[in-house]
Amino acid sequence: MIKTDILIIGAGPTGLFTVFEAGLLKLKCHLIDALPQAGGQCSEIYPKKPIYDIPAYPEILAGDLTHKLLEQCKQFEPGFTLGERAETIDKQEDGSFIVTTNKGTKHQATVVAIAGGLGSFEPRKPLIHNIAAFEDKGVEYIIKDPEFYRDKKVVIAGGGDSALDWSIFLSDVASEVTLVHRRNEFRGHLDSVDKVQELKNEGKINLVTPAEIVGILGTDKLKGVVVKQAEHIEKEFELECDHFIPLFGLSPKLGPIANWGLEIEKNAIKVDNSLDYQTNIPGIYAIGDVNTYPGKLKLILCGFHEATLMCQSAYKIINPGKRYVMKYTTVAGVDGFDGTRKESPKAVVKKIE
């Protein structure tokens, strides 16, 4: 049995930052994640994709953000159960919870924080009859390493931020990038749309709209795709390529957590955001992309804020009747569980005679 103060389900950015905030309160954390490494989507789906809205970082790769968060929380010595999915939860007579994974590993904690991002997810695949035969043979639904596409001909399908952002990024990596979308209008950020238009005018991106991919060409591996232009129902043409990347988003699922008695709304966990992001079950919180409340924004920086307030509330549950006086880290410093201490330099006091 693994025992801890706060059991965090999900080792993505929000879960990792929770370790740091809990550590400032002298609370121990253990994390469970179905993925084999920490970082969530930042590590598994887009480790080489730049993120632009993390405070103090004008630009940081998703994988590098994970490394920074691991470095930040290392001093508080978190435990990890990776490659296992949280399966069941049972409340004990003393008010604590026992969470058991799909591999039978049991964890006991006074507080459970669900930080599972989108939950378990799988890419939305286009309805092309033979596409499954070419998966990992030229068809990819997730870009993990852009260098994999160095000097290759790439076709991307989609009209959202991922399709736009990766088309822009790969325009400097691939030998040829073609973006295909079924509409003339895109759903992504305006600056990304403008950038794609600019790169099209420069001849660095081929833009085919309104159109869709309707067929795959090749035998043992991908050789090309069949494009149907929407304005000409009978008009189809073949497009030679080395890789076809449909980016139609992810289909999120809460998985076993959906059966824990939590209040669910549109595949997300409802929480009380007026105070601490607690669920309808006292002692269980939901933070980050997995939760929902009025005005919710699914941003990493919002998850950091939610984690901070959640830890303050968890402290009261774990230490009933004990008052915590918040002190700024610039004043109090940071004492790690590993014996390290970080503090700002003290002013030198000199007596004037």
User: Cβ contacts of residue 79 below 8 Å, gap of 6+?
Assistant: 2, 4, 29, 30, 31
Confidence tier at 143 by pLDDT (50, 70, 90): confident
pLDDT of amino acid 118: 65
Q: What is the mean pLDDT of residues 119-131?
A: 81
What's the rounded mean pLDDT across residues 278-295? 95
Q: Which residues on neighbouring strands pair with residue 335, listed in sequence order?
A: 341
Q: How confident is the model at residue 124 (pLDDT cuts 50, 70, 90)?
A: confident
- Taking the CA of residue 302 as centre, how many other CA atoms within 13 Å lie in the half-sphere pointing to its CB? 16
Burial of 47 (0-12, 13-18, 19+ CB in 10 A): buried
List, for residues 67-120, the tens digit of each pLDDT value.
999 999 999 999 999 988 899 999 999 999 999 998 999 999 999 999 987 665
Percent of the chain whose pLDDT exceeds 90: 68
Average pLDDT over residues 45-61: 87
| Greatest C-alpha distance within the chain | 96
Instruction: Give the residue-averaged pLDDT of 244-251.
Output: 86
* pLDDT value, residue 119: 61
The pLDDT score that the predictor gives to residue 232 is: 60
**CB-based burial, 121-151: b 16+ in 10 Å, e otherwise:** beeeebebeebeebeeebbbbebeebeebee
Q: According to the model, what pLDDT value does residue 161 have?
A: 83
Strands 176-180 vs 206-208: parallel, antiparallel or unpaired? parallel
pLDDT band at 326 (very low <50, low <70, confident <90, very high): confident
Q: What is the mean pLDDT of residues 318-344?
A: 86
Confidence at 332, pLDDT banded by 50, 70, 90: confident
Label residue 274 by pLDDT band (50, 70, 90). confident
**What's the pLDDT at 252?**
65
Specify the pLDDT at position 170: 96
Specify the pLDDT at position 238.
Answer: 94
Spatial contact of 208 and 180, defined as CB atoms under 8 Å apart: yes
Q: Model confidence at 352, in pLDDT bands (50, 70, 90)?
A: low
